[in-house]
Amino acid sequence: MKQQAFYPLFCKSQQYAWGKFGTNSIAGKLWSSNQDKSLDSNTPYAEFWVGDHPNGPSKVEYNSKKVTIPEFLSQDLSLLGSSILNFTNNEPRLPFLLKVLSINKSLSIQSHPDKKLAKKLHSQRPEIYKDPNHKPELAIAITYLDAFVGFRDPIEIYNNLMHYQPCKDLVGVEIVNNLKKQISNKDGKAVSKTLKEIFKAISTAKADIVSTKVDELIKLIHNKPENEYTSDDKLILRLNKQFPGDVGIFLTLLMKYCHLEPNQAIFIGPNTVHNYLAGEIIECMATSDNVIRAGLTPKYKDVEQLIKMLDYDILDKPTKQIMLGVEIEKGIFQYQIPVQDFLVQIIKMKKNQSLQLPTSHSSSVFLLLNGKISNTDLNEKKYSPGTVWFIPQDSEITIYSHDQTVLAVQAMLGKK
């Protein structure tokens, strides 16, 4: 096969209930442009996928047909490059999935297993855990992201239990009193054990009891003047409209809230409880389906497994860090993460500039988010937002901006 500098990809949209509708969705608009299809104002366009995940594989036009990335790469493995082939044991696939998410309402409260647990769960219950891989994630805000990631400071958890009586009722007075003593004694192991007991008490409570306690919680908030509502009060009311009576409403009182502005990012490793609430983001992850849920979802919940696996070590532990990309070259911002499965770079260009894309250590995928570009020279075809390329390792590509600023993202294998 004669190697080109890049190969256009035709990518899938995922239409989940939590997505933004029609042209309000960045994910939808990218898909519309990429596929040259119109958007339906009544359809929630939740995600735009770039990669070869079997639930939404991107396709390459080859020999007058559109074939999946593995089918395309199997014709000539050199297109994938030695670094990814070594990582995948010579399988013709990408080890990562790049997405754009447009979030209108809360996703599930969830976590992902590490590799060891993923292999175990896949061997025991392959019908639920469909692969043996871990699923580390990097979320980068395009507009903003509101999310919960990890657990709150234990003092804040204790204060929430005292402030919201229905939540304290679910947990029990003895456990709450234990937490207070352990915080005072700065006993990290005991705090971790008690936090696990608190999470278990809430997440395993019977559905009818939870529903009753949520009703009490809503009445408690409504009894206050509206101008005295806290941020947690407002969020509880919002989540109850989305998932009435759901146990996840109480679990969020244990979880650490974070807000990301454009270009800010957060890395979510294994065994970390989290959920996305609202916003629009770039997300990159290891290719896997392993999600273990506990609330704010109509999907299957494996509460017992989630309780076992979560990281409850929170006393005097650094909070999850919001990060920015490091400018490795002018206009190229790289996000430093602790896994090799993927590496993400944001590309920013001013009007009428040129920039050479980094492609030396790995083949990659490239997604144009904003602006118009050409490659090779300014007289060539202009590419619009929604353009996606597969770029073989060691390709030399220079892109040119025109009369608009450019924002793009490139995902590839991480460096050792």
CA 261 to chain centre: 15
Q: Are 66 and 57 in contact (CB under 8 A)?
A: no
In 3D space, the residue among 250, 263, 144 whose CA is nearest the CA of residue 205 turns out to be 250
Which residue of the set 93, 125, 238, 293 is catalytic? 293
In 3D space, the residue among 200, 220, 398 whose CA is nearest the CA of residue 312 turns out to be 200
If 0-12 CB within 10 Å is exposed, 13-18 middle and 19+ buried, where does residue 335 land? buried
Task: Supply the DSSP symbol for 19.
Answer: B
Q: Which residues contact 51 (CB under 8 A, 6 or more apart)?
A: 57, 58, 69, 94, 96, 97, 98, 287, 365
Q: Is 152 a catalytic residue?
A: no
Would you call 66 helix, strand, or coil by DSSP?
strand
Q: Which residues contact 297 (CB under 8 A, 6 or more apart)?
A: 107, 108, 109, 110, 243, 248
- Burial letters for 365-382: b for 16+ Cβ neighbours within 10 Å, e otherwise? bbbbbebbbbbeeeeeee
Catalytic residues: 293
